[in-house]
Amino acid sequence: KIVVLDGYTLNPGDLSWDKIKEFGELKVHDRTDFNPIEVLRTIGNAEIVFTNKTPITKYVLSKAPNIKYIGVLATGYNVVDINTAKELGIPVTNVPVYSTKAVAQFTMALLLEMCHHVGNHNNAVQKGDWTKCKDFSFWNTPLIELSGKTMGIIGFGRIGQETAKVAQAFGLNILAYNRSTNLELESETCKYVALDELLQTSDIISLHCPLSESTQGMINQESLSKMKDGVMIINTSRGGLIVENDLKEALNSGKVGGAAVDVVSIEPIKADNPLLNAKNCIITPHIAWAPKESRSRLMQMAADNLAAYLKG
Ligand code: NAD
């Protein structure tokens, strides 16, 4: 018995579940709330559970004794209480790589939006404000040219490196901070630095490390105070990397010139999320991963993971 908890996230109707269906009796649900009791009810007596964003907590794991395998339909697997799953001997798989290019592309889309405000300009033109649109002081932040500026990438793994490649085409110099360094990746335009140096010298900071105990809240009042005035921050990684209240204050004071986040600490976003009313903040609903091409790869890799588990 196989249950997909939040299938709509992976398949808004344009892909088929046939690859997963081959392995058993499949039920695909569209959970959008994360009430653990409802999650438990949805899991029922299923042995195989797939989740994208629905948390599988210690409580859920302790009350659903039939679960034999959890497939996370994503790269980041922080939605599962991994320690409890380990204690219970339940294997958990994630799907790396499937969306590397899509997330890098989206990161640049967010950066370009902060530099050019395409959405705002379009809205103004649609409302008949052609002239006002060209009064550049109308916007909180001016148009910005990227060439020659410095982008600091925190978490120089697959997505961080792919983002660097694309960013270099815009003439950005890349600084990288990673837990470990791979010096083969260094070049004239890409240099490993200590975190403080990256914070102090970057015009743009883009987050690409996983959410873990060591990265939780790493963008906070203290790290923000080290950054250049007017820095732009992009987060396509996980919302928990940022202390949202601290970022809001830095945005409102002008210390941070703009922020663009695809992820927030609690998703779906709550009405009282401090970033919702912060100055110069763009928020998208965790969609960087989601072009059809990526989702199709994700579906295939999730099926391959399950096949590998069943083969032992
Ligand atoms: P990856 O594992 O290839 O790269 C992560 C890098 O972060 C690694 O090089 C690792 O060494 C580094 N790292 C880990 N902890 C660190 C720390 N404390 N300090 C500095 N560096 C640290 O993963 P990836 O494929 O590049 O994905 C990165 C993250 O992007 C994922 O964990 C996920 O949260 C997020 N993601 C988001 C979306 C989206 O739709 N927004 C889609 C896919 C992935």
Q: What is the pLDDT of residues 71-95, one digit of tens each?
A: 999 998 999 999 999 999 999 999 9
Give the separation between CA 261 and CA 233, rounded to whole angstroms: 8
Ligand 1 atom with the smallest distance to the CA of 262 is 41
Residue to mutate (ligand 1; options 209, 218, 262; most atoms within 8 A of CB): 209
Name the residue among 108, 112, 117, 118 with its Cα closest to residue 140. 117
137-142 contacts at long range (C-beta below 8 A, 24 or more positions apart): 140/279, 140/280, 141/114, 141/117, 141/257, 141/258, 141/280
Per-residue pLDDT tens over the stretch 259-286? 999 999 999 899 999 999 999 999 999 9
Name which residue sits closest to atom 33 of ligand 1, judged by CA: 76
Measured from CB, residues less than 6 Å from any atom of ligand 1 are 75-76, 96, 99-100, 103, 155-160, 177-180, 208-210, 212, 214-215, 236-238, 262-263, 286, 288-289
Residues 280-309 have a mean pLDDT of: 96
ipTM for the whole predicted complex goes beyond 0.95: yes
Give the separation between CA 189 and CA 205, rounded to whole angstroms: 16
Taking the centre of ligand 1 as the mean of its atom positions, its distance from the CA of residue 160, in whole angstroms, is: 8
Give the separation between CA 156 and CA 107, rounded to whole angstroms: 14
Query: In percent, how much of the chain has pLDDT > 70?
Result: 96
Q: What pLDDT is attached to residue 137?
A: 52
Q: What's 113-124 look like in SS3? A: HHHHCHHHHHHH
CB atoms within 10 A of CB 197: 15
Contact 52, 10 (CB under 8 A): yes
How many degrees, rounded to 5, is the angle at CA 218 between CA 73 and CA 210? 20
Residue 248's H or E segment, with its range, is helix 244-253
Q: Which residue has the higher pLDDT, 129 or 168?
A: 168
Helices 100-116 and 292-310: crossing angle in degrees, nearest 10, is 150
Residue to mutate (ligand 1; options 82, 159, 286; most atoms within 8 A of CB): 159
Residues 187-211 have a mean pLDDT of: 95
Taking the centre of ligand 1 as the mean of its atom positions, its distance from the CA of residue 178, in whole angstroms, is: 10
Ligand 1 atom with the smallest distance to the CA of 290 is 40
Name which residue sits closest to atom 1 of ligand 1, judged by CA: 157
> Catalytic site residues?
238, 267, 286
Whether the model clears a pTM of 0.95, i.e. scores above it, the answer is: no
In the predicted model, is pLDDT for residue 140 greater than 60?
no
Model confidence at 121, pLDDT cuts 50, 70, 90, reads: confident
Taking the centre of ligand 1 as the mean of its atom positions, its distance from the CA of residue 301, in whole angstroms, is: 18
Taking the centre of ligand 1 as the mean of its atom positions, its distance from the CA of residue 154, in whole angstroms, is: 9
Q: What pLDDT is attached to residue 130?
A: 81
Taking the centre of ligand 1 as the mean of its atom positions, its distance from the CA of residue 177, in whole angstroms, is: 12
Handedness of CA 116, 117, 123, 129 (dihedral sign): negative
Q: What pLDDT is attached to residue 136?
A: 54
